[in-house]
Structure 1
Amino acid sequence: MTAATTATLPDATVPDVSTLAVTKGHGTQNDFVLLDDRDATLDLTADLVRRLADRRAGLGGDGVVRVVATAALPEGAGILVAEPAARWFMDYRNGDGSVAEMCGNGVRVFAAYLVDLGLWDGTGELAIGTRAGVRRVRRVPAVDGDGDEPWYAVDMGVWSLPGGPAAVEAGFDAEVHVHGLDVVRPALSVDVGNPHSVLVVGDDELEAADLTRAPVVSPTPPAGTNVELVVPLGESEAGGVSVGRIRMRVHERGVGETRSCGTGAVAAAMAVRTWAGAGAPDVWLVDVPGGTVRVSALADGHAELAGPAVLVAGAQVDLRAIGMR
């Protein structure tokens, strides 16, 4: 497909121009409305984000991803000092219009979108600016059985456990009440550039959990948190490497339950790896409702997330139809 390359709101002095060029894409069914605003002329308001992401009256999506020149944003100055090659910035907004630090599935879809726009040739390593710092992306072969299209692997940066050694020793540093489950569960806080709370449940509990309502986390993180429910599935050997596997559902702050969450997959894998202790695998397959991604713990304390990225369609949104004109 070829997406439109100009995504700007029409000038109010030109009444006959009333459309916005967009692209729809997803990473393991975590879906986004994508906007090409490389020249930073679009006023991406919270209201516009909510209307585009509305699944009944708009295009529908878990969030909105804008391509914009890193140099055009105030927060881009620090990014370019750290990495001058990070020419493009992923401006990510949750479906409720709130600004988010980063989105692991969104980064992969962003990279695929840059290829579609002719802004990256898909070779080598791509540096992307985000509010969580620079993210580096490369194309890699898909995991066996996931089609012929390449996956995108993202260095997600340093992950950490905000609770420190005490949380590692105890195995938790928070408690979570999940609607649909009888008792409050212990959870481990994980930071992947954005906050996460990970808890273990059984198979039946994973199905029973009501994630239409936000889980209640105590103590409540100041900026909120994503909550991951995980079922460890054990380990296997692949090419002489031990690979762990988990199943996961997620409630994303500002969105609700999503079919997948890239940073959540990293947080879940690193939490289970921490609980497993010495000798735990460095590579984990994470099964989410929308598919499977791979998380790898890297030697430098970083984590890598790999998975598919799909661009579904390009469209022209009638701004009057969504109440924006």
Structure 2
Amino acid sequence: MTAPALLEVTKGHGTQNDFVLIDDRQDELDLTPALVRALTDRRAGVGGDGVIRLVPSASVPEGARVLAEDASATWFMDYRNADGSVAEMCGNGVRVFVKFLERLGLADAAADVVAVGTRAGVRRVRREPNGWYAVGMGRWTLPGGDAAVDQGFDAEVRVAGLDVDRPALRVEVGNPHTVLALSGLAELATVDLTHAPTVSPTPPNGTNVELVVPLGESPDGHGGTLGRVRMRVHERGVGETRSCGTGACAAALAVRSWAGPDAPDVWLVDVPGGTVRVSMLDSGTVELAGPAELVATAQVDLAALTAS
């Protein structure tokens, strides 16, 4: 595969977690780490937290497992972090990906649930009447098991701006997360995430780190309760981002675990880029809902891009 002289890209975001999207239905683009880094560069490139390549599931090595799980998952979300590394999944990204499919006439998430192939398995997406996209994020786990639930933590995290290491809880939502609670919004604001937090024990495949402040519970208007949490996140391979979909799920799951068995099953997670909704379902899975926007389409001169 060879790169074309001009590459058409679309810029999109979900709660300001932003992506460069590429329509590669013919599987012709050699999406190298260097090209990803050039595209996501915020000064010399298009700029973004990652690159999403649309490709047929049948064209990628992971596609056989995806299609065996759901034959309707014909399109694969090939997601790369801004540093060029391959990522399993992105909760904000998959919403934007489905909106991209809709723009291309390849899906209608209001009429049908759209099955999307990812390295974390099939993700199913529907568009709600308010325009938000709801994504079934699959099963989640606490790698530390019952011992971590009882203690409330199974890791320690050192973050610039905090005077001591903090206990944290590991959460798997298709990709790895480590969540720590802070004392309040003032402390959350002072944390320095320009440096990657140090996690112990060291995760073998890296981890996203979520810093959270629980904001309490309120009536949901339907006889139940709704939880709320504020979050900042440092994404592996990217740095601090304005939002992280799987991270929002991890944050809500961790706070719910700390709150005990009577905690709400639905949480609003406030991130610097907006708000998303996280719902824990009876099936043992979690759903993420939030907005998705496509803001621009451009022709990128690849010779100029790589020269810079």
TM-based fold match above 0.5:
yes
The letter of the residue matching 2:175 is N
Which structure 2 residues correspond to residues 1-325 of structure 1 after superposition, within 5 A? 9-10=3-4, 18-122=5-109, 123-142=111-130, 150-201=131-182, 202-240=184-222, 241-323=224-306
Distance 1:75 1:107 in 2: 16
* Equivalent residues of 2:139, 2:284 under 8 A apart: yes
Distance 2:95 2:307 in 1: 29
What SS does the aligned partner of 1:321 have?
helix
* Identity across matched positions, percent: 71
Shift of 1:188: 0.2
* Equivalent residues of 2:108, 2:114 under 8 A apart: no
Q: Which runs of 5+ in 1 are unaligned?
A: 1-7, 11-17, 143-149
Distance 2:307 2:227 in 1: 47
The letter of the residue matching 1:309 is A
Shift of 1:121: 2.1
The number of equivalent residue pairs is 304
The TM-score normalised by the length of structure 2 is 0.97
Structure 1, 235-244 or 162-171: larger mean CA deviation: 235-244
- Cα-to-partner distance string for 1:221-252 (whole Å, 9 max, x where unaligned): 00010000000000011222310000000000
Shift of 1:86: 0.3
- Cα-to-partner distance string for 1:174-233 (whole Å, 9 max, x where unaligned): 000010111110000000010000000021110010000000000010001000000000
Runs of 4+ aligned structure 1 residues displaced above 3 Å come to none
The letter of the residue matching 2:70 is E
- Cα-to-partner distance string for 1:133-172 (whole Å, 9 max, x where unaligned): 0000000133xxxxxxx00000000011000000000000
Instruction: Output the aligned Cα RMSD.
Output: 1.0
Distance 2:55 2:213 in 1: 38
Shift of 1:324: 6.1
Distance 2:62 2:117 in 1: 9
What SS does the aligned partner of 1:322 have?
helix
